[in-house]
A and B are shown apart, each in its own frame.
Chain A
Amino acid sequence: MDNALWAFGRMSGVVSLVLFSVAVILGILNRSGRPLFAIPRFSMTLLHRNVSLLATVFLVFHIVALMLDSYAKLNVIDVFVPFLGGFKPFWQGLGTVAFDLVLAVVATGLLRHRLGQRSFRAIHWLSYAMWPIALGHAIGNGTDGTSKWFVVLAAGSLAAVGAAVAWRLSANFLETAKARQGGLS
């Protein structure tokens, strides 16, 4: 049972990270206003939301498994307050920071209509901080963090998210960019 919790705790963390990478990329894709292949824009929005929530579910699995595991012995304080852990406190603390940011982003995302656009957007931007912090936690704290397969996975995720962010910052990012720059013909 203990080995199972340990293995599950590690793998759910990896799954969560991959899903968060997809969620960030989908969020950027949404923001461009473009449909993806045959998927309409409203479906992209729902996909972004659902992948993000799924990533959060796996993050909760990751945390709960390592709280129950007799080797990791994560306690409630370490889950919410960063940098106090017994083992690699800095790298574990990054995970805690990322989790706190996820909680803020998810809660404000679900309450968007009540909070209003301005507060929602300000908090939602924290996602851009959350993702690299989570990646740092995975590499620095993970038992597999520096093993070859994980480094390849991390590099691939970094390249994909990095490319999406670079595209986000480019002049023709918006679907309507050309028209709004006066490029109607």
Chain B
Amino acid sequence: MTEILHIDWTRCDGRGLCTELLPTVLVRDDWGYPLALQATNGNRSNPAISPGNIEAAREAVHLCPKLALSLVPEQAKPRQ
């Protein structure tokens, strides 16, 4: 089951930990905020996480200094 990395924009402060842990999934914009490298269904806020990246994604959720990240199952569409 694919999981989606949901970024809560009301919390995110662009500290850059997640973009370091998931270099193949996220890039930083000019202000430091994360953005999905590839859009999923035209959406660059909620990247799908492949099995190879799931461990790094869990670390990112755990270490995010603003508690802005969560992993959600793909079926349950995250609110944007």
Is the Cβ of A176 less than 8 Å from the Cβ of B20?
A: no
In the assembled complex, the CB of B8 is this many whole angstroms from the nearest CB of chain A, namely: 10
User: Residue B31 contacts which of A40, A116, A176 (CB distance < 8 angstroms)?
Assistant: A176
Inter-chain contact B16/A33, CB cutoff 8 Å: yes
A40 to B67, Cβ gap below 8 A?
Answer: no
Residues 1 to 54 of chain B near chain A (Cβ within 8 Å): 11, 14-17, 20-21, 30-32
Q: What is the number of residues of chain B that contact chain A, defined by CB distance less than 8 Å?
A: 17
**B17 and A41 within 8 A (CB):** yes
Contact B20 A117 (CB under 8 A): no
Does residue B55 face the partner (Cβ distance < 8 Å to A)?
A: no
CB of A45 closer than 8 Å to a CB of B: yes
> Which of B58-76 touch A at CB < 8 Å?
59-60, 62-63, 65-67
Bound form: Cα–Cα A184–B21 in Å = 25
- Closest residue of B by beta carbon distance from A32: B15
Query: Given A112-B67, A117-B11, are A42 and B17 also a contact pair (CB < 8 Å)?
Result: yes
Which residues in A have some Cβ–Cβ distance to B below 8 Å?
Answer: 30-31, 33, 35, 40-42, 45-46, 112-113, 116-117, 175-176, 179-180, 184
Residues of B within 8 A of A (CB): 11, 14-17, 20-21, 30-32, 59-60, 62-63, 65-67
